[in-house]
Amino acid sequence: TIGKPIKCKAAVCWGAGEPLKIEDVEVAPPRAHEVRIHILYTGICHTDEYTRSGKDPEGLFPVILGHEGGGIVESVGEGVTNVAVGDHVIPLYTAECRECKFCKSGKTNLCGKVRSTQGKGLMPDETSRFSINGKPIHHFMGTSTFSQYTVVADVSVVAVNKQAPLEKVCLLGCGITTAWGAVVKQSGIKDSSVAVFGCGAIGLGVINTAALVGATRIIAIDTNPGKESWAKKFGATDFVNPLELKGGQKIQDYLVEITDGGLDFTFDCTGNVQVMRAALEACHKGWGVSTVIGVAAAGQEISTRPFQLVTGRTWRGTAFGGVKGRTEIPGLVDDYLKGTVKIDEYVTHSRNLSDINEGFHDMQGGDCIRCVVNM
By DSSP bridging, strand 130-132 and strand 135-137 are antiparallel
Q: Of these, 12, 13, 45, 236, which contacts ligand AHE (CB under 6 A)?
A: 45
String marking each residue 155-174 x if it binds Zn ion according to CB under 5 A: -------------------x
333 binds Zn ion (CB under 5 A): no
Complex with Zn ion: residue 45 or 160, whichever CB lies closer: 45
Catalytic residue flag (residue 370): yes
Residue 138 annotated in active site: no
| Catalytic option among 13, 111, 199, 283 | 111
Report whether the peptide linkage leading into residue 62 is cis, meaning its omega lies within 30 degrees of zero: yes
Residue 141 — left, alpha, or beta (φ > 0 → left; ψ -120 to 50 → alpha)? left
Chain positions contacting ligand NAD, by CB under 6 A: 45-47, 50, 174-175, 178, 197-203, 221-224, 227, 242, 269-272, 275, 293-295, 318-320
Beta-ladder partners of 268: 197, 292
Strand partners, 238: 219
Which long-range contacts link 296-305 to residues 24+ away (Cβ below 8 Å)?
296/271, 296/272, 297/50, 297/55, 297/56, 297/271, 298/55, 298/56, 298/57, 299/57, 300/273, 301/273, 302/273, 302/276, 302/277, 303/273, 303/277, 304/277, 304/280
| 154 lines the binding site for ligand AHE (CB under 6 A) | no
Q: Are 207 and 345 in contact (CB under 8 A)?
A: no
In angstroms, rounded to a whole number, what is the distance separating the alpha carbons of residues 324 and 297?
26
**148 vs 252 by CB, closer to ligand NAD:** 252
For the question of residue 67 being annotated catalytic, the response is yes
Binding characters for ligand AHE, 234-273, by CB under 6 A (x = yes): ----------------------------------------
- The DSSP call for residue 65 is -
Could you say which of 15, 21, 58, 366 contacts ligand AHE (CB under 6 A)?
58
Residues 6+ apart with CB under 8 A from 170: 40, 41, 42, 43, 68, 69, 70, 90, 145, 372
- Report in angstroms how near the CB of residue 271 gets to ligand AHE at its nearest: 9
Marked catalytic residue, from 98, 115, 217, 361 = 115
Say whether residue 295 binds ligand AHE (CB under 6 A): yes
> For this structure, is 97 an active site residue?
yes
Site string for Zn ion, 118-157 (x = CB under 5 A): ----------------------------------------
167 is catalytic: no
- What is the per-residue binding string for Zn ion in 297-326, x denoting contact by CB under 5 A? ------------------------------
Q: Contact with ligand AHE (CB under 6 A): which of 23, 31, 35, 56?
A: 56
Taking the C-alpha atoms of residue 32 and residue 124, their distance in angstroms, rounded to an integer, is 10
- As annotated, the active-site residues are 45-47, 67-68, 97, 100, 103, 111, 115, 174, 370
Q: Which residues bind Zn ion (CB under 5 A)?
A: 45, 47, 174
